[in-house]
Amino acid sequence: MATAIPTQVVIFGASGDLTARKLVPALFSAFHQGHLPGGTQLIGVARRPWDDNGFREHLAQTVGKPTEHPRWAEFLGGVHYVRTHLDTAEDYRELARALDAAAPGPVNRVFYLAVKPELFLPSVAHMHAAGLLTQDGTNGPRRRVVVEKPFGADLGSATVLNQNLLGLLGEDQLYRIDHYLGKETVQNTLVFRFRNALFEPLWNQKYVELVQITVGEAIGMENGRGGFYDTAGAARDILQNHLLQVLALVAMEAPSSMQAKDIRDEKVKVLRALRSLDGLDARKHIVRGQYEGYRAEPGVDPQSQTETYIAARAYIDNWRWGGVPFLLRTGKHLPARFTSVKVQFRMPPHTLFGGPDECHLRPNAITLRIQPNDGIDITFDVKEPGQGLVIQPAKLNFDYAGRFQKATPDAYERLLIDVINGDQALFIRSDEIEQSWRWTDSLRARMRETPLHLYGRNSWGPFAGDELFGECEGRWVQG
């Protein structure tokens, strides 16, 4: 529910790239469109020797296009800076005093931890000790904490982190952010599925033959990411969070309402039903690869076995999806940056135009294009005009940009507005995190039994990736 109480958005790590590239542009866009409560402030917190004006000058040099907007100067009037190392309890008490001094009165506070994951728990513990997370009654000002991924490195560490954080603040105060859930097509998945009688009855094992979900990246280890990435790999970096979150929304049952609890309850059921890879033939369910030249990247072990490509054949063992393969794929240095979901439908049990086992006869599919060109495609067959029975493929396209004639809001903008308004529907709950790690851990344990295939930069990954498909199931989408 939206609030009229002013909000202080307090960003820890305010001198970093995420703040300038994503968070400040998102907040400014929400500000100039009137989506923020009046009096909302941005408080940057970092070690740099700046004052308010120094921080504002830094933003002017790094934020880019928003600084050209006529309301940028007005936005800067609500921007402040607190210099602190945030190493000691006294640092946090000083921060509390600075926030109180800047506040125009009673305020909600959003603490955005744009810091290293190992600092999540110490930061929250110090905030708790300094009284920064205390809330006054049911209707008093709220205190909320946003953490980025990665949330843990496996099931064990994620469970311990959850337990420790939830000992210091409530689940309703903790917002685990995955920016993929703020993308328009991801959000529209629920509307498309559950609002349209054309599609809802078909969304199950009776009619769906296969679902494939791809998060493709054209980049490699730019911006010095090699050191971090080599300790994570594609399974931890993308599959455990982005891919499984999209899968949960595509496969979930209809929630009883659009309230956060009901939506997240259904997502957890999907993740819990994912079949563990323990005991399965790893080579039939997992393909991993590494792009050529990865080991020469700065910060990467010259003998690294880290995967930059991972593909998996997964199953959801429930009534709706029993027996339907979900093929998941992500990789670095692919030819294009894109994210899509392709739902491929079965052939009719009897066809007048060829046998149901003919591999070229898979005309019906729905593709949800999540990025970069948000939209939906529906494919089907038609007869070509003229004599004879010549069948040709056809496609219906829906594009967000063409239909609505306006720019799609950045995912961070939508999610930050939701945090300020206290809406957790698009954020990840503790049991979601743990269930997604449970399945990812089973995959990572088995992928050591599979070969690490080399693939060329700007290719579609190792050829072995296509072997996850059955004989007549098709191949991976290409952009």
* C-alpha closest to that of 86 among 137, 127, 49, 32: 127
Q: Is the CA virtual torsion 225, 226, 228, 231 positive or negative?
A: positive
Measure the CA–CA gap between 158 and 44, rounded to whole angstroms: 28
**Residue 28 corresponds to which tokens in the numbers above?**
């400014």
For the record, the structure tokens of 74 come out as 């007005």
> Out of 58, 179, 242, 285, which one is annotated catalytic?
242
Q: At what angle do helices 430-447 and 155-166 cross, to 10 degrees?
A: 160
Q: Which of 217, 449, 226 is nearest to 330 (CA)?
A: 217
Please tell me the distance from the alpha carbon of residue 181 to that of residue 179, in angstroms, as a whole number: 5
* Interior angle at CA 348, CA 347 and CA 349, nearest 5: 110
Based on the residue annotation, tell me whether 32 is a catalytic residue of this protein.
no
Q: Which of 226, 213, 371, 236 is nearest to 291 (CA)?
A: 226
CB 86 within 8 A of CB 92: yes
Catalytic residues: 242
